[in-house]
Amino acid sequence: MTLAITHDKDHNQFMVIVEGKTATLKYSILADEKTLDYYSTYVPSELRGRQIGQELAKFALDFAVDNGYQVIPTCSFVEQFIKRNPEYKKIVAS
């Protein structure tokens, strides 16, 4: 399944609608304007187990890489995704 993930800049989130349900990965921009805090990943229960959260995390982390951001993975899902995909450790803010 190819997901049409979008970046909703007005609401600081990445989102995708699947079968009429919305999954999101929300973030805040820190004061330095070069660090994003990925603090919440939500996938409706009807859509879980279909890799949607992983695709959102990958999209959000790729966005950070492509745009020169550092990331704070406050969301435990994003933190675990980074542990399983160590190529993203280089953008985790220390």
Whole-number pLDDT of residue 2: 84
- pLDDT, tens only, 18-58: 999 999 999 999 999 999 999 999 999 999 999 999 999 99
CATH number of residue 45's parent domain:
3.40.630.30
Q: pTM of the prediction?
A: 0.95
Structural domain that includes position 13: 6-91
- Residue 62 located in a structural domain: yes
- Tell me if 16 is assigned to some domain: yes
What is the number of domains present in the chain?
Answer: 1
Give the model's pLDDT for residue 94.
Answer: 84
Q: What integer best gives the mean pLDDT of the chain?
A: 97
d(CA 45, CA 48): 5
Cα distance between residue 93 and residue 71, in whole Å: 5
Residues of the chain above pLDDT 70, percent: 99
CA atoms within 13 A on the CB side of 74: 12
66 vs 23: CA distance, rounded Å: 22
